[in-house]
Copies of this chain bind each other. A is one copy, B any other.
Amino acid sequence: MSDQITQQSAAAKAEDAAAAALTLAGKDDATRSEALEAIASSIEGASEEILAANERDVAAAEQLLADGEYTQAFVDRLTLSAEKIDSIAEMVRSVADQTNPLGRTRVARHLDDGLDLYERTVPLGVVGSVFESRPDALVQIASLCLKSGNAAILKGGSEALHTNRVLYELIRDASEDPPDGWIQLIEAREDVDTLLGMDDRIDLMMPRGSADFVRYIQQNTSIPVLGHSDGVCHVYVDRLADLEMATEIAFDAKVQYPAVCNAVETLLVHQAVAEEFLPAMAARYRGADVEMRGDEVTREHIDIAAASEPDWATEYGDLIVSIRVVGSLEDAIDHVTTYGSKHTDAIVTADDERAQRFMLGLDSASVFHNASTRFSDGYRFGLGAEVGISTGKTHARGPVGLEGLTTYQYYLEGDGHVVGDYVGPKARSFTHEEFDGEWPPT
């Protein structure tokens, strides 16, 4: 079976996926959800096989860790356990349980007597995704694509080669219902370039990886791309903040999982509370071995290294945080607008009016009040799971779940209506009245 993965060309896989997508779009929600249940059971039943494949990947990664090429965090993300596999199967079931995103009539509008327009959700078609390291990404993206009626072309990182291959085969073979070819795995970096040229077959690309990699994808394809180039997230501690709450949020946002894109990178502190807040915060961070880099004013309050200009625009992805004291809420907004990546930014304040001023002033996908930036995630947001997080502004923004994998079609039901009747001196006029209705009408 694995021979097929490597021997069929990427172009042929994209053709197969496009053909399968047409059939898959016609399957009903129950069929798609049952296939997801079968996939969940299949993954649970093959726990040992998955772990064995994962051990091969982890062993190779540990060698590269010893050589200093990989970090421990990288190897940790790659490593599966029996519990982790159970939670992956659970995630597949939670996607199966989501409301059907397809066939929803979002608008029904009378245009004139006997002329009714419907806007109704349909799948995008073929979704391509390139991702790194975490093998659960493959299952997550495949599940969301299947539930939303899309074919998926997946390219994982070479570090997870064996794990991804087993997971792909389990998903492909778990059920007879989705049409053959709906899920495709590619393994060679060159194949990604082939896919980028196939804008007639692939409807959306979702790269997940380094900022440089995402930018490379964006600049080398005319396929629409969703993704985020950077995750430079901020927590702003306002002069009216509950400082104990601010400490807990800033701690969680940095320490709870520093390698991910929704971790905080820069802490902004209103000057009025800097003297009281900073020493307590620094003590908390020191207890977790967080390296701090501050501007001049911050360093008058706590003894830490100096931050340089590039620090403000850096996604550390590690236990490092930059800290800056700002003169006002507006200065905080200016800093985020200048250096941020439009991903997730939070304000801690007891004043609702000031919170709203901050949230309305920012052009970020997610803006939070009194909550950790780490909540910026498809599962936590209630989307079931996510294919990725988008910092772009078109199509889908923030964590992208099922809805981001759909589009819509317009259906018009007439009775011989022609446009000629709506022009000239005796022109009919349109009524344009919305009504409760669904397509197809019964």
Contact = CB atoms under 8 A, between A and B. Distances in A.
Interface string A389-422: 0001111011000000001111111111111101
A218 B376 CA distance: 31
Given A382-B432, A393-B203, A395-B395, A371 B222 contact: no
Number of copies: 2
A369 interface: yes
A90 interface: no
Contacts of A218: 199, 222
Interface residues on A, range: 35 or more
A370 B413 contact: yes
A249 interface: yes
Interface stretch (A4-12, A59-67, A109-117): A109-117
B359 A430 contact: no
B430 A382 contact: yes
A125 B393 contact: yes
A145 B185 CA distance: 42
B411 A394 contact: no
Contacts of A308: none
Please report whether the interface of chain A is mostly helix, strand, loop or mixed according to DSSP. mixed
A141 interface: no
A201 interface: no
A409 B393 CA distance: 9
B222 A369 contact: no
A367 interface: yes
Contact of A394 (B124, B249, B432): B124
Nearest to A371: B414
A372 interface: yes
A73 interface: no
B204 A418 contact: no
A242 to B, nearest CB: 7
Contacts of A224: 224, 392, 394-395
Contact of A416 (B125, B203, B248, B359): B248
26 contacts: A204-B393, A242-B416, A245-B416, A248-B416, A248-B418, A249-B417, A249-B418, A251-B418, A252-B418, A256-B418, A257-B419, A367-B409, A367-B411, A367-B412, A368-B411, A369-B411, A369-B413, A369-B414, A370-B417, A371-B417, A372-B419, A380-B422, A380-B430, A394-B394, A395-B395, A397-B410
Given A256-B418, A352-B440, 11 more contacts: A204-B393, A224-B392, A224-B394, A245-B415, A245-B416, A365-B410, A366-B409, A366-B412, A370-B413, A374-B418, A380-B422
Per CB-CB distance, the 9 closest pairs between chain A and chain B, nearest first, are A371-B414, A252-B418, A374-B419, A382-B432, A245-B416, A395-B395, A224-B394, A366-B410, A368-B412
Interface of A: 22, 25-26, 109, 111, 115, 117, 124-125, 199, 203-204, 218-219, 222, 224-225, 242, 245, 248-249, 251-253, 256-257, 352, 356, 359-360, 363-372, 374-376, 380-382, 392-395, 397-398, 407-420, 422-423, 430, 432, 440
